[in-house]
Structure formats: structure tokens, C-alpha cells
Chain A
Amino acid sequence: MNDIASPPVLQPTWNDSSSSRIPFSVYTDPALYAQELQKLFYAQHWCYVGLEAEVPNIGDYKRTVIGERSVVLVRARDGALRVFENVCAHRGAQFCRERFGNAKGFTCPYHSWNYDLDGRLRGLPYRQGIRTDEGLKGGMPGDFKLEDNSLKALKVGSRNGVVFASFDANVEPLDDYLGPMMCGYIDRIFAGRKLKILGYNRQRIPGNWKLMQENIKDPYHPGLLHTWFVVFGLWRADSKIKLLMDESRRHAAMVGVRATAKPSSEVTAGVGSFKEKMVLHDARQIDIVPEPWWNGPTVTMLTIFPSLIIQQQVNSLSTRHIQPRGAGSFDFIWTHFGFEDDSEEMTQRRLVQANLFGPSGYVSADDGEVIEFSQMAYRSREGGAGASLIEMGGRESGEADIAASETLIRGMYEYWRGVMGQ
């Protein structure tokens, strides 16, 4: 007889006293992922949908996603922003397939049910039936009401032009959700300025969506993985940094000031990516010009739970939208922007510095690669044991001011465990 028992399926095991060990199953378990969609993306949370600058005019719209649900962000007739689920009230077809556009309303291609910019059903063919020799026949029942069949409207909030939406009508106010620390860092970039959209980059990363949040809550790796950060001092062990969190610890800010001195041997010891002799053939790629609004920091990396990263790294600015696709993959959409009053030189500088970021970027392309390598290992242990070790800087999750700390990741998982009941 075959006496090799099938291995037991292990539940994720957490060390109850801290969130410093993250079970690999947290990245692979489809049941857990389904719960994440319900609890994190479709309830209680605000998810990013875009920038107001992407839909400046009445009738402008953008199709995007929250979790795995398709939604449409629209500038309505009164100038206000609306977000609807992209599901026709009739048979559920996704009525909007263009990604951007301008419209007077939306008509579902299937049976021509049509909606205004507020998402109200305005009409549908043969509602009263079809006229025949014997009078009107067919049509909707007499008690059918247009007003009961609007598109599913989401709650919408904008913080100085950064637009979020929620399927949860009872979600707390956006400013409370973000908290004062995060509001302050958002305002520093967005308050009082008109944005200029510079364009998009889109990549699909074969890893769990949380790994990208973790990557931008991890000040330990940039000075090790990313040569450009070390050599040019953009983020390294001797940069002055702050690791901040909101009260709930779901959001975080990594704030830093560029180190301009030559790094000491202490800083570069054991750092394989440090290339002492590296000199750029064309220095325009790192032509950094301080801007008045920086007011100290040269870098702020904001992780807004669950789906948004806002980046300022010297003159380069972007939002990065995390769009999960199952437990093992997510789309990562970059929207680069500048300001309407930027000089031509500043726009060029932002564009050239964009070479550091995105799916080809000197300090970003390899983030996607290492996330893929991590996910490969988690998948190979599916249903089995293994945990990520997150103990740099201790096992607690207070704020910190040193790169050798993974406190922000622990903070996020403390919050995640609370909501997920883990």
C-alpha cells in the first residue's frame, strides 16, 4: 500500500505577538484573495481611480478598475466627478469599452439602454412595447421605473485632484481615511497646482499585489538593489529619511533627503550594486533642479492602501495604480505628470528622469523582477510551509528614521490582519 500521506494543507500561521513573519500562503491562497477583494477593495476602503486632470471637461471619462471590477470616472454636467460600475442595469454588459473619451451619456451596445452623465437611466427601446394592429404588445411591466435602474454609483472623493472611489456607501470620509500625515504629503505635491499629464506606462507583474505595496514600504532594498540610488545618493543608507504611518498603519510615507556627499565605506560595505567608478556618459539623466514646493524632502514615496502609490523622486512625479488580477498577478499603471506652469526645460527634465522609473526604469524594472522571483518561490510552496522574514529594525511597527528597517511592512500587516481576521 502507498503509505505516503498527502501533506496537510497548512493554514497561514502568524506569530501572535508581531507581524514580522508573513506566511507565504498570504500571497498565493485564492480563497484569501477572494476575501481581500471583498474586504479591502469593495468595502471600507477608498480606492484610486485617477487624477482630475485626466477628465478636465464636462463629459470626459476614464475607464479604470477597482479590485477586479470595471468602473468609469466621469466629469458630469455640473462639473462634479461621478464614478459608476461599468455594468449595465439591464443584462450587465460592460457598456464602456474605450479607455478615455468624451460623451454626452452612455448607451449600452446590447439593447441600447441609455444613461446620462449622472448614471441615471434615461430610456430604453420598446419600454411601452411594440405597436401592432392589436395595440401595444410586450414592453416592460407597468411598475418599471427608470429611476430604480440607475448605474451602480460609487462614493467619490478627491483630495486636491487625486480621485478615489468606494463601493461602500458607509466608508469614512476620504480625509479621515487618509489621515493628517498622508493628507499633508498629498497636498505638498497637489495643492493649488494644475497638473499636466505626461503619459502612461502599463506593465503586468506576475506577483501578488501586496508585494508592490511592500516594495514601496521597504527602505532597506533601494540602496542595495538599485545602483542608481546608491551612486547618485537618491536613496541610500546615509540619506536622511523618515518612515511614517497613519494611525491605522495601512498607509505609509518614506520621506528622504538626497545624500550628496561621497558615500563612506561604511555605507557601501557589502553593497554589490555600488559602482564607485560609474560615470554617466550623458549627465542629463540626473540633471536635478530643486523646486520651491519640495520644502526639504527630495523624495516622498506614499503608499496609500490598498491600491495607490504616489511618487516624487527629485523632479519625477507619478501615480502608480495597483490593479490585482488573481492572487498571483497584478497590473501596474503609471501616470506621469508635471504642472501646467512648468517651463519646457522642466517638462523635458521630468521626461528624461522618467528613465529611472516604469517597466524599463533603472530603479524600477528590477523591482518587478524580484517580485516575480518571490512569487515563484511562494507558488512552489503552495499549501505548505514558509514565511517571509520581516525583522529589520525589530518586530514592532513604530515609526523610524533609518533605512535598515522593515517597520512599515509590519505596520501594513498588522492592519491587514485586523481587517482580514487573521
Chain B
Amino acid sequence: MSDERAAVLLEVAQLHAEYAAVVDAAEWDRWPELFVENGCYRVIPRENHERGFPLCTLELLSRGMMRDRAYGIRETLYHDPYYQRHVVGLPRILSVRGDEIECEANYAVFRTKLSEFSTVFNVGRYLDVIVRTAEGLKFKSRRCVYDSEMIPNALIYPV
């Protein structure tokens, strides 16, 4: 691997680690900041993704929509409280074109409800388009394609 490729891999891994830390710490105001202003965040069942169906479980098409989701989590969506914990695999860099990086990474999210054991909540693969900005790398698009056939009741927080 060239030094250049290795540097990209490390930068992307750093962004992925940052993302996981933010959503695991429930820092919902910081979460949209990891995206560019018109960035997209989608959570989609693998079934829809592979059969070409566009429906997502969650489809947020701007940082504004992500802020609305953050408000929803805090103020409007009544839900059983839980922790989530991400384990993200090493990124696989698919292409680097100018300032744009395409990559993917496997993820597993564990959920822990109060007084309960930790369980596997959602397992899948991130498909990312990442861009280089003046403030460092940001997501232009993050598509979470999940294998998990059933959502255990509700998916409230971004994965």
C-alpha cells in the first residue's frame, strides 16, 4: 500500500471512530456536524437495498433533517431509554477521486436497556461517500445497509 493510500485509510478510520463515539455518547447535536450541509443519512434494510426498493427505515436528506431527528429523540419520540455501542470494522477504501472518498465498513450495534443484558441490535455495512472540507473529512452520504431482519421494536437513535 502506498503511503498516500495508508494516509487515507487512517483518516477515514479516524472519522468512523469519531462517528461511533458521537452516536454512542448520545451527542445528538454533534452528530449532524459530521456531515456536510446537504449530506444524506439513510438506514435501509438490506432487502430493499438489494432489490432496488428505495424505502428507508430512516432517510434524512440534510443536516436540517438530522437536527429535526435530534429534536425528535430528545423531545417528541417517547421511548424506552437505552445505550448503544458501536463496533466498526476497518474501512475498505473503494475509490479516491479528488476530494471525494468512497468506502465501506462493517458495523455491529449492541443495545443495552436498563436492567437488561446487552443484545445485538443492528448489524450491517456502512456505504459512505466522504469529502474533504476546510474542517476536515465529512460525510456527504452515509447509507447504513442492515442485515438484521427484524428491528427489535424501535430504532430511535441513529446507528
Interface residues of A (CB under 8 A from B): 99-100, 197-206, 225-228, 273, 275, 278, 280-282, 284-285, 331, 336, 347, 351-352, 354-355, 358-360, 362, 365-366, 368-370, 372-373
Contact = CB atoms under 8 A, between A and B. Distances in A.
Contacts of B154: 203, 359-360, 365-366, 368-369
B21 interface: no
9 contacts: A199-B47, A202-B150, A203-B154, A227-B75, A284-B65, A347-B54, A352-B59, A365-B155, A369-B78
Given A202-B150, A359-B151, A359-B153, A366 B61 contact: no
Interface magnitude class on chain B:
35 or more
Contacts of A273: 76
A362 B70 CA distance: 11
Given A204-B153, A225-B78, A360-B155, A199 B53 contact: yes
B149 to A, nearest CB: 6
Contact of B76 (A197, A228, A360): A228
Given A354-B56, A355-B59, A360 B43 contact: yes
Contacts of B156: 360, 365
A200 B47 contact: yes
A225 B78 CA distance: 8
B48 A203 contact: no
> Counting chain A CB atoms within 10 Å of each CB, which of B65, B68, B80, B155 scores highest?
B68
A347 B55 CA distance: 10
A248 B75 CA distance: 40
B106 interface: no
Contacts of A284: 61-62, 65
B55 A351 contact: yes
A355 B150 CA distance: 18
Contacts of B72: 227, 362
Interface string B138-159: 0000000000011111111000
Given A198-B53, A203-B154, A370 B76 contact: no
B67 interface: yes
B55 A275 contact: no
Given A355-B58, A358-B57, A204 B150 contact: yes
Contacts of B60: 355
Contacts of A360: 43, 57-58, 151, 154-156
Contacts of B55: 198-201, 336, 351, 354
A282 B68 CA distance: 8
Interface string B31-73: 0000000000001110110010111111111111101100110
Nearest to A273: B76
B65 A359 contact: no
A263 to B, nearest CB: 16
B53 A280 contact: no
A273 B76 CA distance: 7
